[in-house]
Amino acid sequence: MIIDRLDHAVRWMTANPRITMALKALHETDLAARAPGRYDLDGDRVYAMVQTYDTKPWAGAKREAHRRYIDVQYIASGTEKMGYNPLDAIEPGTELDPFDVEKDYILWPGTGELVTFTAGMIAVFYPWDVHAPCLGVTAAGGDPVVKVVVKVAID
């Protein structure tokens, strides 16, 4: 997992050519000003999803992990908490359902360790990073957020 500010994204642009594409798009294009929806940057290999929502309460939170995509999450406005756990710290057999191949995720209950993200921050979640996005600053949730999630194919 990487946590940083978008202003510092140049530090991470050598990590992977597709991550570089995602970070450049976030840095050089105001994707957050676009209507909510999907925007292809390189077809299914790299695409952005603009999202606007109110954060969720901590109660009933679900953590997720992906196998085919890396998540680059950018908070354009607002504040939210995201939970995190390394995949190898998750107890086997605690998943809510089997891995959903079509939707590329598996879910577990809970929040994990909570980190506060404010406008301008990015998080990069790899397949070994279990994360719970979109959580409220307080346990009740309800905070307005504009986020851009760039999905980066692994292969």
Question: Which whole number is the average pLDDT over 17-25?
Answer: 94
Closest CA relative to residue 73, chosen from 141, 129, 143: 129
Mean of pLDDT over the chain:
95
Is the pLDDT score of 29 beyond 90?
A: yes
Return the pLDDT at 14: 74
User: What structural domains does the chain harbor?
Assistant: 2-153 (2.60.120.370)
Question: How confident is the model over 46-93, as pLDDT tens digits?
Answer: 999 999 999 999 999 999 999 999 999 999 999 999 999 999 999 999
Average pLDDT over residues 128-151: 98
